[in-house]
Amino acid sequence: AIVLNYTNPSNIVTQALVDRGGINVIGLCDQSDEDLQTICHALGLPSDYSFQCNGLNHATWYSDILIQGQPLTDHLKPLPAPDGLDEEHKLRFELSLALARQNPGFWPNSYLPYYRFPKLFVAQARQVGPRSDVVAASLARYYDHFASEGQSATPQLRWFRGSAGFGDLAVRVIQALTSQIPQELVLNLPNLGATDAFVPDTVIETRVRVSRAGIERLPAPPIPLAYRRLATELEQYQRLSAAAAASGDLQAQTNALAANPLVAHHTLAKRMLERASASYDTLLRTTL
């Protein structure tokens, strides 16, 4: 059996399952497609793109990007964020564009700006509320829409598998695993030598070749040298978090959270965990 993990944080959950052993697991996240589709939307072009990818989930770098067969660098003129984005996504796009211009040939995962511009996101969250509130507030309209259309003889769904924000990656993975023809997909899997940026058993997000014969690692492209240190810090956070989730040890959890570059202090990590325990209580599992 193969476990397709869509549970966030995908890399940490997948890493914990890999470290536990005896579980054939693939971590899924379609953020890369969402990011490239956003670029195409900003350019006013169809979602016709190709790219390479290397890094950790939500902290990857895209390279060798082609939009309708042309290098992305040909398009990096003044590029406003596309219409329809909320304030947080608009900020992420604008900062991603700035990072892309600082690192020619690359485009960052749209979550990477959090690590370079944390004060901007804190200010934005204080103005409009944290991201979790935005996500929670959006759920009711989805359920209401599905319930309403479910009563119709001819449902007209605005949100469906494959539409914006509702990727069909899991279905594509299942199709690839049963196909004789290899298909290339961006997945979260143990490195196993695909890149020298991470140790061999760290779960990374990169392009692989999938078929009924198995999963073939492809050589991952480099990541910008200026971001190797951040990548190492996030790798340590990922590994410590996976181990802490499995152990249930409070000190291990504190050490793991303190390893996150956005936390960086044991005192703050301890306070955050205490507040999480007070807020969520029995919803928190002590072990994986």
Q: pLDDT averaged over the chain?
A: 92
pLDDT in tens, 133-149: 877 888 888 888 889 88
Mean local confidence (pLDDT), 69-91: 89
| Res 167: pLDDT | 63
pLDDT in tens, 158-187: 766 655 555 688 999 999 999 999 999 999
Question: Is the pLDDT at 38 greater than 80, yes or no?
Answer: yes
pLDDT in tens, 182-215: 999 999 999 999 999 999 999 999 999 999 999 9
Burial profile 58-91: b = 16 or more Cβ within 10 angstroms, e = fewer = bbbbbbebebeeeebeebeeeeebbeebeebbbb
Domains in the chain with CATH codes: 3-132+159-224 (3.90.1820.10), 226-283 (no CATH)
CA distances (Å), 41 to each of 36, 37, 81, 186, 241, in order?
9, 6, 9, 21, 35
